[in-house]
């Protein structure tokens, strides 16, 4: 059985050419019917043709249907397939990295990645395997060095160079994400050249 492909084939070329000729012929007959007076068709014995009113009515209905589909039906279908605004899929997916919510006694948070956080809900798994409920019950939590939040183990810099983390602490940290005021953005974008 041949593979389905959009590439041109001899059969498609023949069907395409026949369809092209058919549409050109139908358009020519439509224009002829719309502009030639009805009395000329009656002289030829063609009395079963539809009224000339349909020469304008059918294209108008087609354009209204196309407009309705393009601006109402198609966007409505797209909106109906989107998740709700308050659904977790609007802000997270299977590639989202979720950090462990455990806090150490010295009030530092754990950076271990929580595996499979989306199995049974938004807050289904709050702790990673190192800090699961059995560790919390015994209060015997062991701090594991060089946690990696990268989705791919091979790209994790902390696993490749364990001494990289102390060098980061000595440098200036990256500032936290914040919203910029509109006046500040305008000053930078539209400042006058001096």
pLDDT digits (tens, 9 = 90+) for 2-12: 567 778 888 89
The pLDDT value given to residue 126: 67
pLDDT tens-place string over residues 18-32: 999 999 999 999 999
Report how far residue 57's alpha carbon sits from residue 64's, in angstroms, rounded to the nearest whole number: 11
SS3 145: coil
Pick the closest to residue 97 from 111, 108, 107 (CA basis): 111
Mean pLDDT of 37-65: 92
As a whole-number percent, the residues of the chain with pLDDT over 90 amount to 31
Q: Is residue 1 very low, low, confident or very high in pLDDT (cuts 50, 70, 90)? A: very low
* pLDDT over threshold 90, residue 90: no
pLDDT at residue number 124 = 56
**In this structure, are residues 34 and 55 in contact, taking their beta carbons and an 8 Å threshold?**
yes
Q: What is the pLDDT of residue 143?
A: 45
* pLDDT value for 78: 92
What's the confidence (pLDDT) of residue 160? 65
How many whole angstroms from its chain centre is CA 100? 28
- The more confident residue out of 95 and 16 is 16
Q: Distances from the Cα of 23 to the Cαs of 12, 28, 38, in angstroms?
A: 16, 9, 23
Give the span between the Cα atoms of 142 and 147, in whole angstroms.
Answer: 13
| Higher per-residue confidence, 144 vs 15 | 15
pLDDT(83) > 80: yes
Annotated domain spans of the chain: 12-81
| pLDDT tens per residue across span 127-155 | 777 766 554 444 444 444 445 555 455 56
Residue 67 has a pLDDT of: 97
């Amino acid at each position: 059985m041949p593979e389905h492909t959009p590439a041109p084939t001899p059969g498609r070329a023949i069907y395409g050419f026949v369809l092209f000729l058919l549409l050109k012929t139908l358009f020519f007959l439509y224009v002829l019917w719309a502009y030639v007076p009805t009395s000329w068709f009656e002289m030829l014995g063609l009395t079963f043709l539809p009224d000339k009113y349909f020469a304008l009515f059918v294209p108008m209905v087609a354009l209204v249907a196309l407009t309705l589909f393009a601006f109402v039906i198609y966007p409505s279908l797209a909106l109906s397939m989107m998740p709700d605004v308050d659904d977790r899929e609007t802000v997270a997916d299977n590639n989202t990295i979720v950090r462990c919510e455990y806090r150490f006694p010295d009030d530092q948070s754990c950076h271990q990645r929580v595996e499979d956080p989306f199995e049974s809900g938004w807050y289904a798994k709050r702790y990673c395997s190192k800090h699961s409920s059995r560790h919390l019950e015994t209060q015997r939590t062991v701090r594991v060095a060089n946690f990696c939040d990268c989705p791919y183990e091979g790209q994790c810099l902390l696993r490749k160079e364990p001494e990289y983390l102390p060098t980061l602490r000595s440098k200036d940290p990256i500032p936290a994400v914040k919203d910029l005021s509109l006046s500040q953005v305008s000053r930078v974008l539209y400042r006058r050249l001096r």
